[in-house]
Amino acid sequence: RLSYRELNEQANRLAHALRKQGVLPDSRVGICVERGAEMVVGLLAILKAGGGYVPLDPAYPVERIAYMLQDSAPAAVLAQTATQDLLAGISVPVINLDQGTWQDESVSNPQVSGLTSAHL
């Protein structure tokens, strides 16, 4: 369970990590996570980074996920330890939400230049 403040801070940290991975306005970011708080954090972070999300249902067959990743050409993919095996062999950065590597990022709102109302 997250408070709104915790949700915002976690989403900001993850958004900064996504920006460091090259996510810009109009970039696509795959998200292959189980339903829960991590999914909400991930979706909000993608939007805060200026990207659009590509939902990858962990229940899909591996071949379907691979096709969706090839077709959408995301800048990065968000995953969890339980879903990371579904992404084996992809050539884009994978951020595991269960690992704290992105937790050291800033909690401030990311400034995304080039983001306009056309991106809404």
* CATH number where 84 lies: 3.40.50.980
Domain that holds residue 50: 4-119
Q: Which amino acid is at 18?
A: L
* Cα–Cα distance for residue pair 39/32, rounded to 1 Å: 9
Residue-by-residue pLDDT tens, the chain, 120 positions: 899 999 999 999 999 999 999 999 989 999 999 999 999 999 999 999 999 999 999 999 999 999 999 999 999 999 999 999 999 889 999 999 999 889 999 999 999 888 777 766
Q: Which candidate, 34, 42, 92, places its Cα nearest to that of 58? A: 34
* Cα–Cα distance for residue pair 98/81, rounded to 1 Å: 6
Structural domains of the chain, count: 1
* Cα–Cα distance for residue pair 30/72, rounded to 1 Å: 8
